[in-house]
Amino acid sequence: MRFQDKVVAITGAAQGIGRQTAEQAAREGARLLLIDRSRYVHELAATLAESGCDVLALEADLEQWASTEQVFCRRRGSFRPPRRAD
């Protein structure tokens, strides 16, 4: 899979092209960081998590610098490298 164990951040993820991109990346093994100003981003994250995707949803307005900075500073360590079975 093309995105296996890679973290993919998608803005505008709650609907339209962003949602379709998130769904495709999940099918290709991505670990997803979904960002949208709509609360519906959490519903998408729940759906993708049910299918086994490692996903984190954040509700933020990226047009506002303070919101953008807060999201990325707070979530910097949210995704850890995948564990390897040796």
pLDDT reported for residue 50: 97
Neighbours of 20 (CB within 10 A): 12
Model pLDDT for residues 45-63, shown as the tens digit of each residue = 999 999 999 999 999 888 8
Across-strand partners of 10? 34
Structural domain spans, the chain: 7-75
Mind listing the pLDDT tens digit of every residue in the chain (86 residues)? Answer: 789 978 899 999 999 999 999 999 999 999 999 999 999 999 999 999 999 999 999 998 888 888 778 777 766 666 665 544 44
Instruction: Record the pTM.
Output: 0.81
What's the CA gap between 43 and 25, in Å, rounded? 17
Instruction: Let me know if 82 is exposed, middle or buried by CB neighbors in 10 A (0-12, 13-18, 19+).
Output: exposed
Q: Between the CA atoms of 59, 64, 65 and 67, what dihedral angle is there, to the nearest 10 degrees?
A: -30
